[in-house]
Amino acid sequence: MEMPEPDATVLSRKPHVVERLQAILPRGAVIHDTTELRAYECDALTAYTCAPLCAVLPTSTEEVSAVLKICHDEGVPVVPRGAGTSLAGGALATADAVMLGTARLNAVLETSYEDRYIRVQSGRTNLSVTGAVEEEGFFYAPDPSSQLACAIAGNIAMNSGGAHCLKYGVTTNNLLGVTMVLMDGTVTEIGGAHLDAGGLDLLGLICGSEGQLGVVTEATLRILHKPEGARPVLMGYDSSEVAGQVVGDIIKAGVLPVAIEFMDRPCIEACEAFAKAGYPMCEALLIVEVEGSDAEIDAQLRRITEIAARHDPVELREARDADEAGRIWLGRKSAFGAMGQINDYMCLDGTIPVSELPHVLRRIGELAQDYGLAVANVFHAGDGNMHPLILYNANTPGEQEKCEALGADILRLCVEVGGCLTGEHGVGIEKRDLMLVQYDAPDLEAQMAVKDVFDPAWLLNAAKVFPLSVSASRRAA
């Protein structure tokens, strides 16, 4: 995947830029040593690496503003970085860019249980937001698989979801307000500690904008009361297509589980070897979880298991206690780590209508055969957010390119059936050149015009999201 050539003028001025940044940041907050910068040369899309010009680690909105003002004055690109867990290359640097990390922006600033919100700095990890309120019986709903490590900044940038987004929604449904710094250093407040702010819904524009419009330094998040109880049921089937049909039937019946997760045989085998969760060795597995009182859970699971039973499952196991529920979820939560132990893989993120699951799963299998590569499927089936894992050997010449070509065909398939290129990982560089599959030139022009307003110099994460051929004139201006 191509990245633009670094600006030689910026590279030649590195000592000057570093000196200016060191003058306004605490000691140790500017990293410019070549060896130390290796920690910032990639995100979770590890096939592509490039160390930045330098990295900065501010601790406040004021410091972020000062950094961006200097970079704006010097014409230096900036790449915002949360925790570096992006699977789409959203935080990949260019050699002439300052990497702005949010790791030290990790404080809890305000909590209101009466009004059900928490205000945090954007570098705070997803799981630690719940950790800050769970003693009072509250939680933060979005739960990406990387929630132990990923930062709220990245969650907002990519509009992250997670296993339980079927009921609770994704980040945009749980975000009330942000403090954001524009590229010229201007600090702006958008939204607030309430469900609906006056005027245009700029918060909806910011969430999912992939660091293109500004750097979010603080976020006000909605927190919810923990449910009275939760219980998963495990369903095993001899066909991925049948399992996909079960998902559609559950949704069609009007039942709203908190989560419906899908895993196919390659992933089941890897997870069982890794986590020993007690999964059946079948072609496809569903984990369906519901919440509520015991009576509500029983009623919902009765309807769900009736639907599941009509499709002749090889196993139908309802968790009897918290320990068994934990084991059912253990394998799913371990899926990406388990697959990573046995293969290099590329994780996709297309979204499709739930009704298309059987067809798309079948076509993915056919495409994988055509390319001679294996694909493992593990994804949020309830909302059609697919995560095919294309397995390949990075040490075999040509196999990475073949993997990327298969990935592109799978994402084209998602768009063809009425879906989209990304559900929660973002476009980054991975899907950047496929944007013309989903959008025509006027659509992309309208989106780039929005960036023109927020970042006229196109210095913020400018090599991402839009095809390089389409954005070239703006980036060169």
CB atoms within 10 A of CB 106: 16
Sheet holding 117-121, edge to edge: 108-112, 117-121, 215-222, 175-181, 187-191
Which residues share a beta bridge with 37? Answer: none
DSSP for 245-272, please give it. Answer: HHHHHHHHTT---SEEEEEEHHHHHHHH
Confidence at residue 245, expressed as pLDDT on a 0 to 100 scale: 96
Confidence at residue 243, expressed as pLDDT on a 0 to 100 scale: 96
| C-beta separation of 430 from 89 below 8 A | yes
Give the DSSP H/E element, type plus range, for residue 53. Answer: none
Confidence at residue 1, expressed as pLDDT on a 0 to 100 scale: 79
Instruction: State the Cα–Cα distance between residues 371 and 125, nearest whole angstrom.
Output: 38
Residues 6+ apart with CB under 8 A from 10: 17, 53, 74, 75, 76, 77, 96
| Selection from 65, 102, 24 nearest residue 188 by Cα | 65
Confidence at residue 438, expressed as pLDDT on a 0 to 100 scale: 96
Confidence at residue 2, expressed as pLDDT on a 0 to 100 scale: 86
| Selection from 224, 228, 248, 205 nearest residue 354 by Cα | 248
Residues 6+ apart with CB under 8 A from 247: 260, 262, 286, 354, 357, 381, 382
Distance of CA 438 to the CA centre of its chain: 19
At 385 the three-state DSSP class reads: strand
Instruction: State the Cα–Cα distance between residues 219 and 121, nearest whole angstrom.
Output: 6
| Selection from 26, 22, 54 nearest residue 38 by Cα | 54
Please give the model's pTM, rounded to 2 decimal places.
0.95
Tens of pLDDT, residue by residue, the chain (477 residues): 789 999 999 999 999 999 999 999 999 999 999 999 999 999 999 999 999 999 999 999 999 999 999 999 999 999 999 999 999 999 999 999 999 999 999 999 999 999 999 999 999 999 999 999 999 999 999 999 899 999 999 999 999 999 999 999 999 999 999 999 999 999 999 998 877 777 889 999 999 999 999 999 999 999 999 999 999 999 999 999 999 999 999 999 999 999 999 999 999 999 999 999 999 999 999 999 999 999 999 999 999 999 999 999 999 999 999 999 999 999 898 888 899 888 899 999 999 999 999 999 999 999 999 999 999 999 999 999 999 999 999 999 999 999 999 999 999 999 999 999 999 999 999 999 999 999 999 999 999 999 999 999 999 999 999 999 999 999 886
Q: Which two tokens stand for residue 172?
A: 């945009």
